[in-house]
Structure 1
Amino acid sequence: MTRSPATPLPPPKARRRLRETAALTQTQLADRVGVTPATVRAWESGRTTPRGRKREAYAKLLKTLAEEETVQAPEPEPESKLEPEAKPQTRPEPEPEAKPQPQPEPQPQPVAAPEPVALTPAQAFDALYAFSAPALVRQTFLLTGRREQARESVERAFQAAWEHWPEVARDRDPVGWVRATAYEYALSPWQRLRPRHRHPEPPPADPGDRTLLNTLLRLPPRHRRTLVLYDGVGLDLPETAAETEASTPATANRLLRAREAVAGRLPALADPQVLHRRLAELASNERLRAAEPPTVRRGGERRARLRTRAAIAFTVALIGTTALTVRTAPTHYEPPVSPGQAVRGVPQRVAPGALSDEELELRQKLRDQVQDGPERLSPRLE
């Protein structure tokens, strides 16, 4: 039994464009498909792909939006087709005598390109890490201002990517998947509770870099992330909106607010090109290191094993506790015994003594009489 082919879908950018052209929010589209807004954001960013009935409903809705967009767009006017003018017929001129053509020199045969060698999952992961990890560490440093936190965030993101490697390997933008995970981990509010956060790191040596970094850290986390993605990394506005899980107008507003805040303190960075160059210089001037790919992979596998063992131990403990409770729990209700209280005013109990002669006579009389009541009376006439 074979499965039917999946319904084709447009690229993630086209999905977002169709929704925004139809003036639909992610919540409205999610209600029409029957999913949550977070699922729609993941579909439009390309992180996940719909399956089953949700995929069919989503594809049908996108097709409807595309048809509406085609109907609303003005049709181009057809170009007038002009017939060529008739040319007067002339007598054919006699063909010149054929001259001997020089023989072409033999061309060398092209050599077939070697077939690409299939990489193992570990080799593909190592290549992705070596290509993108140094740049991701520098970008994360612009978000946090802490070198060790930036390195740890990128390593945790790659460890998560290794745990979900089949999904990441099929993703249209694996670097974007890892970058989004690293940024979320770096900007998590739980980082403030760590002991490392209480001890500040030495600032950059250059005064200009120090001022720029302090200005970035004063921005709200969402504005800072938008500024780094657009002016630092170089993503366009829809890609920045998809990675930050926000609408395009909201992302543009955050970007403008962040630029105004930076230009208000550093007027020389009002030009976006100058700001992009200064962000690249600030990230490049710091000595940021990244661990080796095998170390990251082994660390992720060790962490996954520890989590698995902890989950198994917790499950076994829960099962044992439940079994012990079922074994020792009473099967019926037993009312509690009330505590004893001292009662006063009651005479002391006296042991019975020997019976007197009268008591003995009375007892014998009671024993001799009929115990079933008096005898039956016979009626008589008066």
Structure 2
Amino acid sequence: MLRIITQPAEAQTELRRICDRTSQDEIVHKEATVREVLHTVKRQGDKALLHYTEEFDQVSLSPEQLRVSGTELDAAYQQVSKELLDAIRLATRQIETFHRQRVPKSWVQFGDDEVVLGKRYTPVDMAGIYVPGGRASYPSTVLMNAIPAKVAKVPQIVMVTPPGAGNKINPAVLVAAQEAGVQEIYRVGGAQAIAALAYGTQTIPKVDVITGPGNIYVTLAKKLVYGAVGIDSLAGPSEVLVIADHAANPVYVAADLLAQAEHDPIAAAILITTDTQLAQQVQAEVKRQLIDHPRRLLTEKAIANYGLIVVVDSLETAAQLSNEFAPEHLELEITEPWDLLEKIRHAGAIFLGNSTPEAVGDYLAGPNHTLPTSGAARYASALGVETFMKHSSLIQYSSSALNKVSGAIQALAQAEGLPSHADSVRLRTQGNLED
């Protein structure tokens, strides 16, 4: 049963509990396993990958089977419907169009004092995309991770994803990867796949950046390899928070909550509303829509443990609670969503109005669906083109420009006890180049 809370203090306590729903004890226990996997793959390469794939995924592979063959890639197109292929291609166009608008531009500024300053953006050499398997297949995750790398002009994009029954990978995932510009695909998942991307093996190349969500083992592996490679973020369990007023449709709101809860038993689905009647209607509607739900057991578990309805006295209070929670997905199912938007400070993606369910953003609106979770929206943003790029500062001084600031640089260098720093400027500005 989806609980209804009316007391602000109780609501704050419950929202904090939900935000912190990943147990620290669980993390510590699993981190030891992940460290062992990373260390073993780093030392043994493909041998360790094959061992852990058999141990954790119950799939036996040979080294030659790690990489998905061209024949399998070609066959994938014959195994998806025309409707699905068209949908993948539409999403690809939409996502690429959006991300092309976000490419950082290099710039150079020529000052009047003969000083040139600038910033130069360049892509990483190789990107690694992790696509989860497990409870479902995620062609949308392929598109959302690979397309920004393609737009950033990363020369090589490789993908890893767990093999399913019969060593197969879902054909929709394979088609999406090809449409998005992935050059190499490997059938390996879990912490061992992250280790392979971070350190390289005999078969899988070492990459510069790893992106993509996964289970707790994948997330911990990304955390531990950070530094050896870059990562996008540490994705936690998914979540949606809906702010709704009297004009919201309870059928739509319930469907949106369930659309989040069906992801995972620890996904969070939260409604904050100013209307008591709507709260009760949504509670009943969630129960009704669950009756014949194909993923009923795990969805019910998520709703029971991390589902919540909060009734508040105003939309301003709703915005305040939302900001404290900093949701991954925020839906504003209210009469004037753009007015309340001014009060929203922390959210990964914001969906405005009753005709904009989160699913639009999940699949093809264009903005990325790889978003900060567990309160990280307070300081983090969605995955984007910038994730696959780095920038270098550009600095040029003429001799006269250097002469103007010579004294200040030398004073600062001497204050820090770095005489050679000072000399590197003094020798140039006084013209003393003698040995």
Q: More helix by proportion, 1 or 2?
A: 1
Q: Structure 1 length normalisation: TM-score?
A: 0.22
Q: More strand by proportion, 1 or 2?
A: 2
RCO (CA 8 Å, sep 6+): is it higher in 1 or 2? 2
Q: Structure 2 length normalisation: TM-score?
A: 0.20
Instruction: Please tell me whether Structure 1 or Structure 2 has the larger radius of gyration of its CA atoms.
Output: 1
